[in-house]
Structure 1
């Protein structure tokens, strides 16, 4: 039996609860919020039958994405279906390259692609078929009957090299099918013959073999190898060299030697040397010696001239030097710093305090006046007190009275100190 609730304008059941289609303390209507108008009678919570179209959330009060077609998942907002041309969980990705049938929720085109595109998702751009023979190509752009002349590649979208005769090449390899135009070579005729090939006497063109690039009519003067890419050494006479290895045909210009004339003659007189060995033909320039005149005469030769074979100074040595090549220095203790050219013996004796042939020995410090015989080193003025012997190198006994002794024998001249005896008081 129906009765009017205390709360105005709402239908209640016995006991004060809301009728089907109403909820909450005020028995608000479920209609328009929950699917089929049914909701929890007691609480303002879930709609047990779900949300109406384009609504979601615990209370079915939030809107689905505008890209969803009709409805979406109540809890994660993922669309159940997308508008045409869109895909993805939230229908926010575009598949505008599919044909009129559009794509599924994963983006794969249902039927096919609009012209110019291919692939399951129609995301691969293909060329048009204009360069395909008979304009026949697959949806992926592969030319099914091959390419029109002057094009190559699977999609015939690449140009044959301009060096191909009639610009025709193989569809797969790009190799020229009719050979090369003049002055080109290689499988695709992309390389040019050397500009140093001799010109064809008939066509006046620099042609070469199309397989190797070797010049048809040999090389211009000054170049070698079959393809004429290496330059002859400019030191070759007339700039002429052998085609196969670049060796100079007519010898070398003055001052050079070797098979390729790439080695400089030494300090040869008139710059002339043997073509093969480099030996100087007319001797050396002043101041040099050796077979190739590469060695310098000693700076200590008089006139800086020397024998061109041995390097021996021809005019003797400058003062202060000796030896065949004047490389040895006279002793600093020679008087006047001059010595014998051959032996180095001091010619004018020794400076004070030195003796010996080359004045390299010092007189004893115990010689009176530090002077000695310049040949033997014998002290000329006797010994200082306390020493004896020819060179005054022997010491008198400490037990001699007055520490003096005979300078020849060492005998104590004034006898012995108390407690000692003998000639030398030892």
Structure 2
């Protein structure tokens, strides 16, 4: 009976091979029944010429075969008896008889049937990728850390350290004034602090009247305190001192804030005055008086003479 069978999946067929074999000078007709999987798709006729490889060796028999029964293979994704078993996560073809995966597994699975998820701590193709610094486990397929990252790490897979200048949970904390970078996990400054800062995280400014590396320097004679970084006195110097950090005494002959004032030349020793107040150290020269020796006695006497003349006291002797 000629009947054509159509299908979109491979066939399993039991065939009867009809061949003639010489035995002791006679020719015998032999029938051999085998089961084969027809490795093509499309129409099949119940009677068709084929080439069959037999074991042992390879024998090609070109003859007519009779298909005793044609059975479709399991549809894609199933295998086994009556096709009741589900295939695993095969990257290629799933064997319709045993469920083995040819072509390996899709990412996140392994085993010959690709039904085993990657072991904890691994993910991806052939489970060869290692999870990042996840809180808990990472996704066995793409490595995403669903519960977030450990302190000091960021990204979907938590493999990236915090960017320079940040640290901590979700990399949300800013590093202090470190020399170099801070530790991306705890924020500590392994190389110490920049000038003007102290503490294990270098996030504290120097206390009042201190500045510099490790806050080891003392401020000068500032009016309003100094910069915690370089010691510069923002409000200038107290009387008797000068310079950016106000740690230099006034030069001889000068006094007051920032040493901007000159001592009197009428001091007993000219311009020899206190650098703080401007007072002449050893009094005044003849004809001068006052703490700073800027008051003229002669001018004062003339003033008295004019007053007496105005009052008509011309006979007054001085």
**Shorter-chain TM-score above 0.5:** no
Q: Which has the larger radius of gyration?
A: 1
User: Larger relative CO (CA 8 A, sep 6+): 1 or 2?
Assistant: 2
Structure with higher strand content: 2
